[in-house]
Chain A
Amino acid sequence: MLACLAGAFASAAFTLVPGIKHVSSRVMGWLLAIAPVAAFVAITAQLSTVADGQALTWQIPWLPAFGIAFAFYLDGLSALFGLIVTGIGALVLIYSGYYLTPAHDDADAKSATRNADARFFLYLLLFMTSMLGLVLAGDVITLFVFWEGTSVTSFLLIAYKTKDEEARSGAFKALFVTGGGGIALLAGLLFASAISGSTDLTSILRNGEVLRNHAWYPVMLGLIAFGAFTKSAQAPFHFWLPKAMTAPTPASAYLHSATMVKAGIYLMARLHPALGNTEMWFWLLIVTGGATMLIGALIGLRQSDLKGVLAYSTISQLGVLMMLIGKEAPSAFKALAIGVLAHALYKGALFMIVGIVDHSTGTRDLRRLGNLWRIMPWTFAVCGLAALSMAGLPPLFGFLAKETLLAAEMEAVLPQLTRIVLPAITVLTGALMLAQAATLTLDTFVTRPGTGWPASHLDDGHAEVGHASHAHEAPAGMLLGPAVLAALSLIISTAQPAAIVALLAGAATAAYGAKVKVSLALFHGINLPLILSSTAIALGVVLFTVRRPIRSIPGVPALNMNRLYDGVLRSLDRAADIVTRTQGGRIRIYLAVILSTLFMLVILFGNLGRIFSGPALPNFGMRLLDEPLNTASALRAFGLLLAVAASFVSVIIRRDLLAIIALGSSGLAIAVVIALEPSPDVALVQAVVEVLTLVVLVLALSRLPRAQRERAETLNAGERGTTARNALLATAGGLLVTVLCLYAFASRPRTSIVTPFYEENAKPLTGAADIVGAIVVDFRGFDTLIEITVFSMAGIGVFSLLRLAMKRRETASLPTEGEVELNAADHRPLPLLPSLTGIDGVRTSPFIRALAYVALPLTFMLAIVQMIYGHDQPGDGFTAGVTLSLGVGFWYVVFGYERTKQRLSLLRPGPLIGVGILLALVGSVAPLFLGGGFFSPFDFGAALNLPLPKGFYLSTSFVFEVAICLAVLGAATFIIDTLGHPERDLE
C-alpha cells in the first residue's frame, strides 16, 4: 500500500529529471500511468478481504510522543475511492499527454512547452499522491496533511497558466475557501481525537457514542462539516469551483470532478459511523446537500461555457451525495456508493470530451459550437454515451444511480416533510440534468451554432466563426480515457460484474456502519421511483426544447457569493491600507509608541499592587540599613552617582563627541561599581569593552560628513514640545523601573540554589579557581561558543553592511554639488609622508608613535597572560581579544589604515574568526576521541603526555580561551576596519 504512494510520488519526482525534456508528452503520459495502474492493481488485490467489511491497517510511527502515526487504513469505502483515484488517474495521465501536445505541429512551441508539460505532470502526480493518501489515511493527522496537500496541488493546477489573471484569482479563491475549510477541519479533527483519546481513525470510529454525546459535539461537527462543505463545493461555498475551471481540462476532469471535490463526501461518509445519526447531522447535511443540488442544476442550464455547465452539474451532484450521507437508511448509502462511482465515470468522461472539443476547435463556447458530429464522429459517440448516463436514462449506470437515489428518499424512516420535498427537487434536478446533458451533446455536435440561445446572448461575430475548418477527430489515445469510462457506465449496469457489486456493497457498509446489500438490477417492476424517474425524463425533454426562452429570462441577482468574497478581500485590503496610513514614517514616533505600550502593559498586567501590600516594604527598610558605612560602600555610592551624572551629561551636552566621552565615563563608572561587587572579571570586561565602544563610536562619528554632523548637533537643542513629551516618557519609564527594581531586590531569595553548585564544583570539575570563568568557559561552554559566533557574525555583518552601502552609493546616487565640496574639504590632500600621518591624514606626534610601538607588544603579552592564567586569575579570552584589538585600533589611529595593514599583514579578520570558531569546535569535540565528553573539561597535556612546563595546563578551557580571543580579535578588527574606512574597497 505504501509502495503505491511511494510509487506515485517517485514518478512525480521522475518528471523533474532533466533528460525528460526529450521524451514527448504522449510517451510520458503512458509511462507515468504505470504508477497509478500498479496502485490500482494493488488495491484490487486486497478487494476480497475488504469487501466483507474488514479493514486493513498499516502504520509507521511519526510523532510517538503525541500518539500520532503515519497510519493507513483500507476498507470498502477507501477501496472504492482509491480505485477511482488510481483508475481515473491513469486514464487522465494518458489523456494529458495528448492534450498537452499542440494540435498543430509547431516545432518552436513544442520545445517551449516541454518544460511546462513536465511541471503539469509533476503537479498532477503530486495531487494523486495526496489524494490517494487522503482516502487511505488511518490517522486524522495523516488525513489532514494529505487533505492540505490536495488543496495546494489544486491551487497549483488552477493557476497553471500563471500569466492569466483570471487563473490566478481563481486559484487564490479556491485556496482561500478550501484552505479556510482545512483549518476548521483540523480544529474539528483535533476535537474528535481529544474526545476519543486518540488520533487513530479506528479508535475514533469505535468511540462514536462518546463523541455524539459530548457537550462539544455541535462545535466539532460544525467545524468538520465546514471543512467538508468547502472542499466539496456545497452551497454557499460552491462559488470557487466554477472559477477553478481555468485549470487545464485534464486537471478539471480529475480534480474538480472525479476526485478532489469528493474528498468532503469521503470525509463525511468516513466519519458517519462515528458522528452521524443525530438530528443535527441529518438536518445539516440534508439542507445543505438539497440546496446545493438544486442551485447547481438551476445555474448550470444558463452556462454557455462547456466547462461551466459541467462545473455546475458537478456541484449539483455533490449536493446529492452530501444529502445522501445525511439519511440514516441503508438504501441511502447504497445510493451513495453507486452515485459516487456513476458520477466519477460519466463526469470524468464528459470533461475529457470537452477537452477534446476545445483542443480541436479552439473554443468551449456552446454558442459557437455545433455540427461537429461529421468531423468528430467517435468523440460524438463517446460523448453521447456518457451524456446518457448523466441524463439518467436506462440502461446506463446513471439511471441506476437516480433510481436508487429516489428510492432512498422515500424511506419510511425519514420525516414526512422530507419525503415529499426531496423527491420533488430531485425530479426537478434530474430534469435539469437531462436538459444539460442534451445541451452538451446535441448543441455541440448536432445542431447549428447558436441554436438554443436567445439572440441577446449572441455577439454578432459568434455564429460565423469558421472553427470547423481546422477541427479534426481526436487521436485514438486521447479518446481512450473517455471511451473506457463511458463504456464502464454501460457495462456496469448491464453486465453487473460481481466484483463491482461487492466493492459497492463494501463501501456502503463501511460508510453506513452496518451491513448494506447492493444489487444492480435495472428493473424492479413498476414502482414509485420508476414513475418519478420517468416524470423527470419527460420534464427534462420539455426543458431542453424550451431552453431558449428559459435562458432569455434575466438572471436573478441573488446573493452572489463571489461578490461577497470580493467584498471581503477588498475590505481587508482597505483595512490594511488604513492601518499602514497611521504609520507616518517617523521612527521616533514608532519608538515612542512602542515604549509607551510596553510601559502600559507592565502597569496594567504587572500586578504592581503586590509591591505595596506584600512583605516587600518592611524587608526593604532593613535592606536599606544593613550596609555599614565604610570605604567600599562609600566608593560604590560614588560610582553609582558618577554613572548617573555622566549619563546625564551625555544628554545635556551639545557636542556629540563630548556626549560620547560622557557615555564612556558613565560606562567606566559602572565598571567601578562592578569591581566593588567584588567581581574583577566582569569589571575588566566592562572596562575594555567600554573603551572599545568609545573607539568605535568616535570612528563611526568621524566617518560622517562634517556638515551633517553639525546639522545633527543643532537638533540637540530640541523642540520644547517634543522634549517635554520625551522627558515625560522617560520619567514614566524610570519610575516604573524604580518600582520593579525595589520589588525585585526586596523579594529576592536569601539563598541561591544554583550558585553554590558552581562554587563547589568549579575547582574539582574544571580545575579553574575563577568561578565566573568556569561558568562561562566550562559549565556554559556551549552557550559561550554560540555567543562568540554571534559576536563574529556581528563583525561580519558590519563589514558586509558597510561594503554593500558603499557599493550602492557608487552605482546608484551621484553626490550633490554641496556634498562634492564637502568631501573635498574633508579629504584635503596633505603632502605628508604616509608613515608620519595617522587616520584621516592628520599628523601624529612622534611620542604617540613611539607609544604605539610599545603598546602593541604589550597588549600581546597581556593577552597571553590572561589566557594562560585566566582560569585562576581575573581576565579571560574575551578580555584578551578586546585588549589586543584595542592595541590594533591604536595603530590604526596612529599610523593610518594603509600603514597598519602593511605592517600587520598577518592580521586578517576573516581567517581569524574562522580559525577561532573552528578551534573552539575542535577543542570541544576532540575530548570525545581521547576518552572525555563533548564540551567537558579535559586536560590535553596530560592525555597526550606533552612535555609542558609545570603549572601550565593545555586544557579545554585554555583552548577555548584562545579560540574566543582569536574570534573576538577578528570580529573587532572587522568592526574597527570597516567603521574606520568604509570607503575602501577591500580586495
Chain B
Amino acid sequence: MDVLLALTISAVFAIGVFQLLRRNLIRSVIGLSIISNAINLFLLAAGVYRGEVAAYANAVGQRSDALPQALILTAIVINMGGFAMVLSMLYVLSVRYKTSDSDEVKGLTH
C-alpha cells in the first residue's frame, strides 16, 4: 500500500506542477489546489500507525495516528484561506489586465 500511496502522491504532485505552469491562470490556481492535496496525502501517509479504528480514546483496537491528522486539519484550513486569497488576486489581475493569460500580465517588466 505504501508504494501505491507514494505513486499516487507523486502523480498528483506532478499533475499539480503541470497545471501550475500553464498559461491559463485559472488552471494555475487549480494546480495549486492539487499540489496541496498531494501534500496533505503525504502528511497522512507519514503517520506511524496504520489504524484499524479512528483515533478516539474509547475505541478498542489499533488507533490511527492522531498527530498527522491534527496537522492535516490545520493545513487544510490554512490552504483554504490562501486559496481564497489567490482567487481574489486572480480577479484583481483580470480587472487590471483584462485577461487571465499569465503571459499578458506585464506588470513585472521594467
In the complex, whether A130 has a CB less than 8 A from a CB of chain B is no
Closest to B65 in A: A755
Q: Which residues of B contact A780 (CB under 8 A)?
A: 70
In the complex, whether B60 has a CB less than 8 A from a CB of chain A is no
Contact of A722 among B20, B23, B30, B81 (CB under 8 A): B23
B69 engages A772 (CB within 8 Å): yes
A686 to B26, CA, bound (A): 22
Assess A708 versus B37: contact at CB under 8 Å? Given A680-B54, A741-B6.
Answer: no
A681 engages B69 (CB within 8 Å): yes
A586 engages B73 (CB within 8 Å): no
Question: Secondary structure at chain A's binding surface: helix, strand, loop or mixed?
Answer: helix
A776 engages B106 (CB within 8 Å): no
In the complex, whether A730 has a CB less than 8 A from a CB of chain B is yes
A745 to B73, CA, bound (A): 21
A978 to B81, CA, bound (A): 14
Q: Which of A603-661 contact B (CB under 8 A)?
A: 620, 623-624, 627, 633, 636-637, 640-641, 643-644, 647-648, 650-651, 656, 659-660
Contact digits for B45-87, partner A, Cβ 8 Å, 1 yes 0 no: 1111111111111100001111101101110111111111101
A773 to B63, CA, bound (A): 14
A666 engages B34 (CB within 8 Å): yes
Q: Which residues of A contact B103 (CB under 8 A)?
A: 586-588
Q: Which residues of A contact B40 (CB under 8 A)?
A: 670, 674, 686
B21 engages A758 (CB within 8 Å): no
A714 to B10, CA, bound (A): 28
Interface segment among A109-117, A215-223, A693-701, A828-836: the answer is: A693-701
A763 to B57, CA, bound (A): 6
A656 to B25, CA, bound (A): 10
Contact of B22 among A627, A640, A648, A716 (CB under 8 A): A716
Tally of chain B residues near chain A (CB < 8 A): 92
A874 to B104, CA, bound (A): 47
Q: Which residues of B contact A692 (CB under 8 A)?
A: 80
A679 engages B44 (CB within 8 Å): yes
Closest to A751 in B: B48
B46 engages A982 (CB within 8 Å): no
In the complex, whether A537 has a CB less than 8 A from a CB of chain B is no
Most A CB contacts (10 A, CB to CB) among B3, B17, B48 go to B17
A677 engages B51 (CB within 8 Å): yes
Assess A718 versus B26: contact at CB under 8 Å? Given A678-B53, A696-B84.
Answer: no
A647 to B20, CA, bound (A): 12
Contact of A798 among B12, B49, B85, B108 (CB under 8 A): B85
A726 engages B102 (CB within 8 Å): no
A588 engages B102 (CB within 8 Å): yes
A978 engages B57 (CB within 8 Å): no
Closest to A677 in B: B64
A580 engages B110 (CB within 8 Å): yes
Contact digits for A724-743, partner B, Cβ 8 Å, 1 yes 0 no: 00110111011111100110
A643 engages B12 (CB within 8 Å): yes
In the complex, whether A703 has a CB less than 8 A from a CB of chain B is yes
A670 to B58, CA, bound (A): 26
Assess A595 versus B17: contact at CB under 8 Å? Given A712-B100, A745-B2, A805-B95.
Answer: yes
In the complex, whether A140 has a CB less than 8 A from a CB of chain B is no
B88 engages A801 (CB within 8 Å): yes
A790 to B58, CA, bound (A): 33
A787 engages B94 (CB within 8 Å): no
In the complex, whether A475 has a CB less than 8 A from a CB of chain B is no
Q: Which of A740-755 contact B (CB under 8 A)?
A: 741-742, 744-746, 748-752, 754-755
Q: Which residues of B contact A637 (CB under 8 A)?
A: 1, 4
Q: Which residues of A contact B17 (CB under 8 A)?
A: 595, 726, 729-730, 733-734
A722 to B21, CA, bound (A): 9
Assess A643 versus B8: contact at CB under 8 Å? Given A791-B77, A806-B95.
Answer: yes
A580 to B95, CA, bound (A): 26
A624 to B47, CA, bound (A): 16
A560 to B88, CA, bound (A): 55
- Partner-A contacts on B (CB < 8 A): 1-27, 29-30, 33-34, 37-38, 40-42, 44-58, 63-67, 69-70, 72-74, 76-85, 87-92, 94-96, 98-103, 105-110
Between A and B, 28 residue pairs with Cβ closer than 8 Å are: A584-B109, A585-B106, A585-B108, A588-B21, A644-B12, A650-B15, A656-B26, A673-B44, A679-B55, A730-B21, A731-B14, A734-B10, A735-B10, A737-B9, A738-B6, A742-B2, A742-B6, A745-B45, A755-B67, A769-B58, A770-B57, A771-B63, A790-B81, A791-B80, A802-B88, A809-B95, A876-B73, A978-B88
Q: 8 shortest A-B CB distances, which residue pairs? A: A734-B14, A794-B81, A585-B109, A741-B6, A730-B18, A775-B70, A737-B10, A738-B10
- Partner-B contacts on A (CB < 8 A): 580, 583-588, 591-592, 595, 620, 623-624, 627, 633, 636-637, 640-641, 643-644, 647-648, 650-651, 656, 659-660, 663, 666-667, 670, 673-674, 677-682, 685-686, 689, 692-693, 696-697, 700-701, 703-705, 708-709, 711-713, 715-716, 718, 722, 726-727, 729-731, 733-738, 741-742, 744-746, 748-752, 754-755, 758-759, 762-763, 768-772, 775-776, 780, 783-784, 787-788, 790-791, 793-795, 797-798, 801-802, 805-806, 808-809, 813, 816, 819, 872, 874, 876, 878, 968, 971, 975, 978-979, 982
Given contacts A640-B8, A678-B51, 10 further A-B contacts (CB under 8 A): A585-B108, A623-B2, A640-B4, A673-B41, A679-B64, A689-B77, A741-B5, A771-B57, A775-B67, A808-B96
